[in-house]
A and B are shown apart, each in its own frame.
Chain A
């Protein structure tokens, strides 16, 4: 069984429901959380997460996300990553951002490609916080080699060309690339478009873990109960009626 990570946008749909979802993730045994900090221009996100980001920003400042993160740490024992966009970290400076964040395991910046990580990684030295590196179906052999060199935390393998959410598929070439990364001393987790138990099964054949974001948020938008049922459904073996 591979690892499971859930992405939750901080304070969405409300601070209370967000924290209840965190608690549910703890109860369910989710391995790690990606706590999203909403950004005004989320170009890597699909419709649902973009809309959710705009909603959150109507009511909250970044200070509120940091405050919620403190509560997330009390509720959740697994690893915690912050996922956001480069400008929120750049604006505060890496050191200030980390001071305000408190203990986290890593930073995931959706618009930070490998070749721009240096200035951010310098600020992380000696902190134990990893800057997560991305690979994608477009990655070339040289990108894969450079991602593996000095990688910490995990490698975030983006399943497809496109934004978060939408369909899930892995072509043969992408599977080959994932295989190249596997077993090189750092976990490989796959994300983007993963929705159900069936997708998870497919991912666990290839990688060390999976990240679910959009579908989790879609369930949470319905209600906290439907989010809990959804987490439960990820455990259940697939039946003929699924999908």
Chain B
């Protein structure tokens, strides 16, 4: 496995973690070749998580936008989001490595819930770091994690969001590296995490490509997904990255404005920097201090982004657009009314982008990765977006 995607990626972590990252990389290579483990994972993805997920032609939305919109229904997976693809993969990998204890970070709580779920399934000890602001605004997910037997550790320091939670998880890992697997939730962090998570999420893209070919007998014009850390986008992009006729569009959170501190549009507004183990685009000030991010969608509220996205951007293989808080909220309501689907606010950004650019997509066929369902966001939506810190 290569440590870098072009000039992005790497392993910028304290020296103590390097042997563990090497162990993880070697174990992953062996795990991929181990037929028994691979079959067990495929079985769990099918019977426990609910794969394959449907590729659904959203007819009402399509009529309204004068294009054909297919939704990849990752929101129908167990625990309500694409996160379970990765947590099932990594928990099997952790068992393969003989690790007994799992730690994870979570922003919106979706990755925390998906981690707590697979830990319950495989009877592993589970601790989830979560920023204090997120603990407050995602109370239901905190309850879910408790019920699943996980310990939720609120992180009061720093911004109290995903960034602080990752800092704290990294500190835990440095201390407990012998016994513990850090089950990271997105395509971020030091190598080999971005590659491993992308691999586990690529099931979405492979399925979507085959499903689309079957119904349309051609490839889509565009594939659209929201990008925070970027795991659901990378998962669906992986299915189409070699199909150069398919445009890949990542949608970042424009928040309330494009002033630093008011958005999470890292690839659009950031510059290369080093955070959480990798060189990638980063929201930072002129000194290199990492800026606070903002989004109405807690899962997008992150000042960094996976290094492979930075690579795809610089290579012009993917394009990264922006959807503001208000546009995402409007898209949430539109999908609810038109299609009977309550999308996660994160996924609403992908839909919001399509709506705002409908002229560009007239008569085209697009796939949107509907990465999660919106039940977790009821409070934020009900308060018109004011309840998100």
Contacts and interface: CB of A to CB of B under 8 A. Distances in A.
Interface of A: 39-44, 46-47, 50-51, 54, 57, 61-63, 85-92, 110-116, 134-140, 143, 158, 161-163
Contacts of A57: 289
Contact of A138 (B16, B158, B275, B282): B16
Interface stretch (B54-62, B170-178, B317-325, B340-348): B170-178
A112 B14 CA distance: 6
A41 B277 CA distance: 11
Contacts of B163: 41
Given A115-B3, A115-B18, 18 more contacts: A40-B289, A44-B174, A50-B157, A54-B158, A62-B288, A86-B12, A87-B274, A87-B284, A89-B288, A91-B284, A111-B13, A134-B14, A136-B14, A138-B16, A138-B17, A140-B19, A143-B18, A161-B176
Contacts of B275: 41, 87
Interface in B118-138: none
A138 B171 contact: no
A113 B288 contact: no
Nearest to A112: B12
Contacts of B167: 41-43
Contacts of B11: 113, 115-116
Given A61-B287, A86-B12, A138 B20 contact: yes
B290 A87 contact: yes
Nearest to B277: A111
B39 interface: no
B16 A90 contact: no
5 contacts: A41-B290, A91-B273, A111-B274, A115-B18, A138-B20
Interface in B9-32: 10-20
Interface string B156-189: 0110000100010011001111100000000000
B14 A116 contact: no
Given A161-B178, A163-B171, A91 B14 contact: no
Nearest to B164: A41
Nearest to B279: A90
A61 B288 CA distance: 10
Contacts of A111: 12-14, 274, 277
Given A87-B273, A139-B19, A161 B288 contact: no
A91 B288 contact: yes
Contacts of B287: 61-63, 88, 91
A224 B176 CA distance: 35
Contact of A113 (B13, B157, B282): B13
A115 B13 CA distance: 11
Interface centre among A57, A61, A113 (most CB of B within 10 A): A113
A161 B17 CA distance: 9
A50 B157 CA distance: 9
A145 to B, nearest CB: 14
